[in-house]
A and B are shown apart, each in its own frame.
Chain A
């Protein structure tokens, strides 16, 4: 269960969401898209086109068949998010073929979109039907969504209920902007909403569904709007992987020379620890992202070289202040600079 905290204007989290779905299409997985804000068909029209191999401009479907996803286990929730990172090291050629690159400036062709089965859930179209399950005092929008997901999972055999089905596929579920007012949940509106448990109950049942079937799910949540932080803590505990996107638009960090190459920061709050005692911790936790014309990249945050002679005290303090927020190597470097300047 991949949980993404949206950035303030939703630009970059939408992009990540679309990457997840696009990867699903290219790998031949089935998709389930749920949204209360924008109709899922519109979201699907906007997916980025895949870059196949290193020769750009070739859009054939054979590539999708060639890349096999060999991490299939019966009840696994997969953090496919790492798969979507176009560039983690400096040289992409040493990168093993795990995932695809996407060209953000081009849209995915409709033939490719139609090569897999798409299921969608648009809240405002589903309001008329009554949920046939026990809602357990959950918000009705969430209850309907759960019912829809459960129905697709059992109908299409993702939970292994159909032994005749030889080709096992994965269902990729994307849920957009959960917890916002458009889903009927009041947690974004006030500090003490009347129903604080709907979102967490929904996540628990969803987790149960995901564990029981061959599916992976990404959820984006406008975390900055949720005023009761206790809910966010509980939600973090219930998810396998939690990633926060913080964009620099409109904040004072936009002009900070530390961040001039990047558009935002990526906070990895939690990594999945499944089926083993340990988890795969990367070397660094400071990641930043930038959106170029064709590519959305996530890189390690490194300080730009301090070349100017007249670095004033004010900017040094800014660097040191932001260095407190960085948790490893980079932080030591910045504080070291402060001491040198006496």
Chain B
């Protein structure tokens, strides 16, 4: 409860982790607010079906609140004038202010009467897009901070956020956000492409960092490294060098 998990990817695509967490929390019976900025609803829906969860059904029964960024931005840009009481959550496209997005998250995860879900969860895919769309890095960090206060501490829920990062990245704003989030996370799952290049049987390696040093100073953070291969319905993990292709 109250955990902040950071999904990070470098030189590869870490979205398989997002799909996993989405179906994991839905199957566990939690109320999920999914801020999907990069892909359409049908993309997640099709993958979730392969993993055994129906997003449409979850939306029907109120378990999933889905913010489809691409669709909302079209409504914002090409739609008619919006009513002032209901600002679009993507308002930051024109005003660079993430407050409307935070309000959206808060309203969707605050339990209403008659809700019997276990624990709220906020899922964001992905945070680096906010910087591309004109939000300042400090605004993004503030947004995450507000979300943490509300979701993790007040409502005792969890947050999972995906960010992209590169080693020799020249995108300093992104690196700033990523480094800051790393310091504040309880768990970091870092998917990296292999340093030696591209391989058909091993798609990448994942580093799992449990940040125990947040609780007790001078504790080392244990780091576990596994390699993985993504298949159509599944991801297989194995110890380094133990890929089925090698053995």
- Residues of chain A having any CB pair with chain B under 8 Å: 74-75, 133-134, 136-137, 146-147, 150, 197, 200-201, 204-205, 207-209, 211-212, 228-230, 233-234, 237-238, 273-279, 281, 283, 285, 327-328, 331
Contact = CB atoms under 8 A, between A and B. Distances in A.
A197 B46 contact: no
Given A201-B93, A212-B71, A278 B232 contact: yes
A228 B172 CA distance: 11
Contact of B128 (A150, A237, A277, A279): A237
A237 B74 contact: no
Contacts of B94: 134, 136-137
A230 B73 contact: no
5 nearest A-B pairs in the assembled complex, by CB-CB distance = A230-B171, A208-B70, A200-B132, A327-B197, A229-B170
B85 to A, nearest CB: 18
Contacts of A328: 197-198
A208 B170 contact: no
A225 to B, nearest CB: 16
Contacts of A136: 76-77, 93-94, 134
Contacts of A230: 169-174
A327 B46 contact: no
Contacts of A146: 77
Contacts of B40: 75, 211-212
B16 interface: yes
B192 to A, nearest CB: 15
Nearest to B42: A75
Given A233-B171, A277-B47, A204 B198 contact: no
Given A136-B94, A281-B198, A237 B164 contact: yes
B17 to A, nearest CB: 10
A281 B197 CA distance: 13
B198 A74 contact: no
26 contacts: A150-B74, A201-B134, A204-B70, A204-B132, A208-B70, A208-B71, A209-B74, A211-B40, A230-B169, A230-B170, A230-B173, A234-B131, A234-B171, A237-B126, A273-B13, A274-B43, A275-B42, A275-B43, A276-B232, A277-B16, A277-B19, A277-B231, A277-B233, A277-B234, A278-B230, A278-B232
Given A150-B78, A275-B43, 14 more contacts: A146-B77, A200-B132, A204-B133, A205-B77, A208-B69, A212-B71, A230-B169, A233-B169, A237-B38, A237-B164, A276-B232, A277-B19, A277-B47, A278-B232
Nearest to A198: B134
A273 B231 CA distance: 12
Given A273-B13, A327-B197, A211 B70 contact: yes
A276 B233 CA distance: 8
A229 B168 CA distance: 10
Interface of B: 13, 15-16, 19, 38-40, 42-43, 46-47, 50, 69-71, 73-74, 76-78, 93-94, 126, 128-129, 131-134, 164, 166, 169-174, 197-198, 200, 230-235
A233 B39 CA distance: 18
Contacts of A212: 40, 70-71, 74
B42 A238 contact: no
A192 B228 CA distance: 39
A229 B173 CA distance: 12
Looking at chain B's contact residues, the main secondary structure is helix
A285 B94 CA distance: 40
Interface centre among B93, B169, B172 (most CB of A within 10 A): B93
Contacts of A278: 230-232
Given A201-B134, A204-B132, A233 B74 contact: no
Contacts of A275: 42-43, 46-47
B131 A276 contact: no
A209 to B, nearest CB: 7
B74 A208 contact: yes
B19 to A, nearest CB: 6
A75 to B, nearest CB: 6
Contacts of B93: 136, 201
A113 to B, nearest CB: 30
A150 B94 CA distance: 19
Given A134-B76, A150-B78, A230-B173, A197 B132 contact: yes
A197 B70 contact: no
A133 B174 contact: no
Nearest to B175: A230
A277 B235 contact: yes
Given A134-B76, A137-B134, A237 B170 contact: no
B129 to A, nearest CB: 7
Nearest to A281: B200
Nearest to B45: A275
Interface centre among A74, A146, A234, A238 (most CB of B within 10 A): A234
Given A230-B171, A285-B198, A204 B73 contact: yes
Contact of A133 (B46, B47, B77, B169): B77
Contacts of A137: 94, 134
A238 B164 CA distance: 12
Contacts of B13: 273, 279
Given A136-B94, A228-B170, A328-B197, A197 B230 contact: no
